[in-house]
Amino acid sequence: MHMIMLNVVCFGPKYKNMHEHVLNALDSGRIANSGRFRLAEWPDKPRPGMLDRSALITYVPAHGGCWPDATTSGLGVKGAWASFEDFGSIGGSAVVLDACDTATNNWLYRGGLLRAECQSLKGKLLLGGSGLAEAPIGPGGARILNALLDLLADVDGTAMSDEGLLSLLLDVRKNAIAKSAPNSKVRSAYAIRKVTERPSRVW
């Protein structure tokens, strides 16, 4: 039985709302329905259990459902949005939320404490939007996903220390930047942090 290194989660009808870079990785065979990488498809909006699969890293492309307070649906999935807590628990030791502000204090914390909606991220390493660039999606999302697929191809198991995971996520960002144009937003769009009860260090 294969250990799942990367759980990619999308919602919305395939070829309609699925993000293009995920679809490209699926169609090219880089993501298979069994083995080291897995794509979980849901036909409509976020729901509990969507992200709850054993894996080293869970990757969620930019969705309207990535917002804690459900106040916006402007990230590519019209009408298929919900509060972030509607995803339920999250599997994996690290999470990649490929959306604009998802690694920022404003997104994660309220009044200096982790939002109730974001408690499922507590204790996990997070690679997400830094808030410094408008939108780390599109080409940036493709670079991040491809770097994840490249680097995780050589990982032997899902047991990894925080230090090892941090090093891997730093390499993901570095490799995504290296394959981007010199003026690409990828350079400033992504941040990495350990999600704790109060705001923590950001890399």
**Domain ranges in the chain?**
6-194
**Total residue count of the chain as it appears in this document:** 203
pLDDT at 66: 59
Helix (H) or strand (E) holding 163: helix 162-178
pLDDT in tens, 85-119: 777 788 889 999 887 788 999 889 999 999 988 89
pLDDT at 33 over 60: no
When pLDDT is averaged across residues 138-164 and rounded to a whole number, the result is 87
pLDDT at 76: 44
pLDDT at 78: 43
pLDDT at 133: 66
pLDDT at 203 over 70: yes
pLDDT at 75: 42
Q: Which amino acid is at 142?
A: A
Q: Which amino acid is at 70?
A: A
Alpha-carbon dihedral angle through residues 78, 18, 177, 185, given to the nearest 10 degrees: -20
Q: Are strands 57-60 and 6-11 parallel, antiparallel or unpaired?
A: parallel
Q: Quote the DSSP letter at residue 92.
A: S
Q: Which pLDDT band, with edges at 50, 70 and 90, does 184 fall under?
A: confident
When pLDDT is averaged across residues 5-14 and rounded to a whole number, the result is 78
**Rounded alpha-carbon distances, angstroms, from residue 107 to 52, 111, 122:** 21, 11, 13
pLDDT at 128 over 70: yes
Instruction: Classify 59 as helix, strand or coil.
Output: strand
The rounded percent of the chain whose pLDDT value lies above 90 is 33
**CB neighbour class for 34 (10 Å; exposed up to 12, middle 13-18, buried from 19):** exposed
Q: Which pLDDT band, with edges at 50, 70 and 90, does 12 fall under?
A: low
Q: How far apart are CA 57 and CA 160, in angstroms?
A: 11
Report the topology of domain 6-194.
Rossmann fold (3.40.50)
**Rounded alpha-carbon distances, angstroms, from residue 164 to 4, 94, 159, 198:** 17, 11, 10, 23
**pTM of structure:** 0.86
Higher per-residue confidence, 174 vs 48: 174
pLDDT at 197 over 70: yes
